[in-house]
A and B are shown apart, each in its own frame.
Chain A
Amino acid sequence: MSFKDPRLFQIALLGCLLGLGAFFRDFAIRPEQIALAIVSALATQALFIHQLKLKGSINYLSALITAFSLSLLLRADSNWVHPMAACAAIAAKFVIRTGQKHVFNPGNLGVVLALLFLPGSWTSSGQWGQDIAIAAWVFMLGTLVTTKARRGDISWAFLGFFLGIVALRVMILGQKPAVFLHQLTNGSLLLFAFFMISDPMTIPNHPRGRILYAFLVAVLAAVWQYGLFRTNGLIWALFLCSPLVPLIDRWLPAGRYKWIPTGGSNATSHPETVAVDRYRRCVIGAAAPGS
């Protein structure tokens, strides 16, 4: 494990936010739900690592991030929703793949699956409140992570597009600027921008592709929220746009992201990718992806 891995920072920051939220923001999340989410995510990851004969403990970091993300986003009135969502989210990472990447952001997929199929689950997007201090903290901490992960452009692009649409709507409707400020300081929007859409493994590789993707997610989220009057616009928009990433990657090819820069090694030699592709060919029977 290397301390250069930005996921370590992300885990620390998500852990802090979870603690802050649970203690000071009256989150309806129980410690046992967090514990079960973590255990389930790690166990699922271990199962696939064992099955695919992958090496290295580093793979567990992503699973931990998924468990934390689910704990931050998902609420349930029972204890079995979080572990089931975590298991499905991690499993999908190994099963639903195109080329060398998994298609869905695991945290995002886990929330969507829970909302669709698990009764007694919901999300509390308003629960972060409009506390400007918290917003500033998320903002700064998120910058740290995205800078470390070197794909922060998507966070800024997304915020720019989404807040641009919100500002436009406020102007067209003749609402007061306070409405825009109310949206700007929304903790869950900033969390989404810095900790979910910024996941370098599920976004386009090419910088221009990422800007395009941020635009599409922002527009769909705004339509979902303001046109269709549905809840969880950000979550659904990211989920529905995810299948576009392989298309954007094909159109605008670029090198795949690696958590730890390794100098000479190229993307296709990543052990997880090679093993997963072997798994897909042998176990699932899917066609081998083109290289």
Chain B
Amino acid sequence: MLLIVIGAASSGLLLQVPDAEAFCGFYVARADVKLYNKSSQVAVVRHDNKTVMSMLNDFEGEMKDFALVVPVPVVLEEGQIHVADKALFEHLDAFSAPRLVEYHDPDPCRVYEAESWGMAKSAAPPMAGALRDERSRALGVTVEAQYTVGEYDIVILSATESGGLETWLIESGYRVPAGARRALQPYIRQGLKFFVARVNLKEQAATGLSWLRPLQFAFESPRFMLPIRLGMANSQGAQDLIVYLMTREGRVETTNYRTIKIPSDVEIPEFALTEFADVYRALFERALAKEGGRAVFTEYAWNMGWCDPCASDPLSSAELRELGVFWLDEANDTRGGAVPVQLTRLHVRYTAETFPEDLVFQETGDRENFQGRYIVRHPWKGEAGECSAARDYFRNLRARQDREAETLAGLTGWDLADIRRKMKLGSRPKSDSWWRKLWGNGG
């Protein structure tokens, strides 16, 4: 018995806090995919109508229950299908996730020397029966091709009507969710084929892995879109989808939904250091609510060759080619300079109501860099009496912390009084009094 899964997945709630890495300040944490309960990840490489799509479902059930149905524009040959290393997604996620960075306030009593810049250094990631023809014909379903690739048994189907396809899937042992027929119909009528994959348990056992590796397929088509509607047939509630798009010229956005940048480059209170998962989740939810749930968020848009701060090393040429970046010359080294690959990370939280259509993309000419970046500044640990500059410093510090509290309240919708309590700020400081600076008696 199999379950149709596309886009649905589940994962625990976890925030990864790797070792601090140096840059102008320190990278401390990221809001990666593990943050979301039901999430899936898709990597799309696109140039000149050529598309390479990689799909990773964070599937946690029994392997035998896994099945994936994806509408594809053409019948794929065996060589167009590939199984990739899961580590590619982990690296993409780590590289592009919204990040928390920290700064330490310098000693105000000292003339500060030029700050040294260092490149981030992190460890390189590890690399990641027979069908009844007559019955199929009667149902209007044609098995265009079938292959076993890696641990997957793959069938490429075309169908003339959705009822027949639904019946075919049920008779072939797939557990088809209610509503699938209606969801399948628009794709059939557009003449799309169906890529159906399930796990070959013998092959899976041979891999020795306890997870399913991402499936990849390469095809040529003018369509630059991602079918998300089919996944809604078997999902309850909202699903998170992270799409990594790798293109040649510029940032990618959706043409049929608003694509907006996640609020970024803001200073937030120190306690965010231990609660960054909650902070980012609340921030994302509030930004989405402001858009009535109908927007796609850009979390990262940057050249693949470099980063600042780096949450992880840029992907190597070998990793990019594995993901399908076919235009990258083998001689291109992606480290240390710009490469002809722009990475866009889009975060979509969709429900059947808020996203009535599949995502349609376009590549823009925009090469401006953007990242979701949140800043924590640690106060200087000295005494106010050490010098006059220190007195000014502490006065300004209180004002800054007030601003940080308000910023966080605005971003997350959390209660300002709660935030101030967590920050141990108490009531508004008296140092705000306008007359304190007047005659130099502000101490």
Contacts and interface: CB of A to CB of B under 8 A. Distances in A.
Interface of A: 25-26, 28, 75-77, 119-122, 124-131, 172-176, 178-179, 181-182, 186, 228-231
Contact of B190 (A121, A126, A173, A182): A173
A174 B257 CA distance: 21
Interface string B175-219: 000000010011001100000000000000000000000000000
Interface residues of B, number: 34
Nearest to A186: B256
Interface stretch (B77-85, B133-141, B290-298, B409-417): B290-298
Interface string B350-383: 0001001100001011111000000000000000
A173 B222 contact: no
A129 B255 contact: no
A174 B356 contact: no
Given A26-B260, A120-B250, A129-B258, A77 B367 contact: yes
- Specify the main secondary structure of chain A where it touches its partner: loop
Smallest CB-CB A-B distances: 6 pairs: A122-B364, A178-B356, A129-B258, A174-B185, A173-B186, A229-B222
B260 to A, nearest CB: 5
A122 B362 contact: yes
A75 B259 CA distance: 14
Contacts of A173: 185-186, 189-190
Interface string B411-437: 000000000000000000000000000
Nearest to A121: B365
Interface in B272-317: 291-292, 294-295
A131 B354 CA distance: 12
7 contacts: A77-B368, A122-B250, A126-B256, A129-B257, A174-B185, A174-B189, A182-B357
Given A129-B295, A228-B222, A28 B190 contact: no
Contacts of A229: 221-225
Interface of B: 162, 182, 185-186, 189-190, 221-225, 250, 253-261, 291-292, 294-295, 353, 356-357, 362, 364-368
Contacts of A131: 292
Contacts of A176: 182, 356
B189 A172 contact: yes
Contacts of A186: 256
A120 B258 contact: no
Contact of B261 (A26, A124, A231): A26
B294 A130 contact: yes
A130 B255 CA distance: 12
A77 B366 contact: yes
Contacts of B255: 125-126, 231
